[in-house]
A and B are shown apart, each in its own frame.
Chain A
C-alpha cells in the first residue's frame, strides 16, 4: 500500500477553485490514485480516480504528475457544501485511508 501525505487542513473561498495536493512517492505501477470525501457523520463519497492520465468528471479534475509521485484534486468552483474531509488513496484492490485534508469553504 502506497503511503499518501496530505496537508491537514486547507481553506478556500466560495466560487474559487480548490486545489488539494497529495504526495504518494512510493506508489507502484498497478496502484490507482483515488479521491474520496467524507462529510460529517456520513460514509465516504467517491470523487474520482486515475492511473496515469489526468481525469475529469462532473465533480472534479485529477491531475497526476508524469512520475506519478504526486497528484492534485481540483474542485473548479467550490461551494459551501464542498466542506468535508478529502482522502487521497494510492492502493490496489482495497482502500487504505489516511488522515485526509479538512477542506473548509468560506462564504
Chain B
C-alpha cells in the first residue's frame, strides 16, 4: 500500500477525444510524476510537477498536459487521443522537488484504451 491512488482504474475512449486521469498523492509529497507504460514495455516518463509547476518533461507532445493542486491531487490531460495512447498511465509521488535520492511511490495506474 503506497498511499497513492489513481482514478479511474480503466477507461475506454475514442480516437480524437480528450481524457483526464486523476491521482491523489501521499500527504506531504510535493512532487508528482506521470508515466506511460505500453504493453510489454517499461514505464516512460511524461512529466513531473513540483508545487504546482512543471519542472521536467519527457519526449511527449504538448497535447499531454498536467495540473497539480495544493491538496496533493493532480491530473493528466491528453487531448486529441490517438490509438497509440492506449497504455497504462502511472502516477508517482515523492517528497522533494528533485526526486533524487528518494523513493517514488507509485499508484496502481489507469488502463486507457483508445478505439
Chain A contact residues, CB within 8 Å of chain B: 30, 32, 36, 41-46, 49, 51, 85, 87, 92-100
Contacts and interface: CB of A to CB of B under 8 A. Distances in A.
A44 B88 CA distance: 12
A40 B2 CA distance: 16
Nearest to B2: A43
Interface residues of B, number: 26
A95 B100 CA distance: 9
- Tell me the dominant secondary structure on chain A's binding face: loop
Contact of A49 (B92, B98, B101): B101
A94 B57 CA distance: 10
A46 B103 CA distance: 6
A45 B101 CA distance: 16
Given A43-B2, A44-B90, A95 B104 contact: yes
Interface string B43-66: 111001000000010100000000
Contacts of B90: 43-44
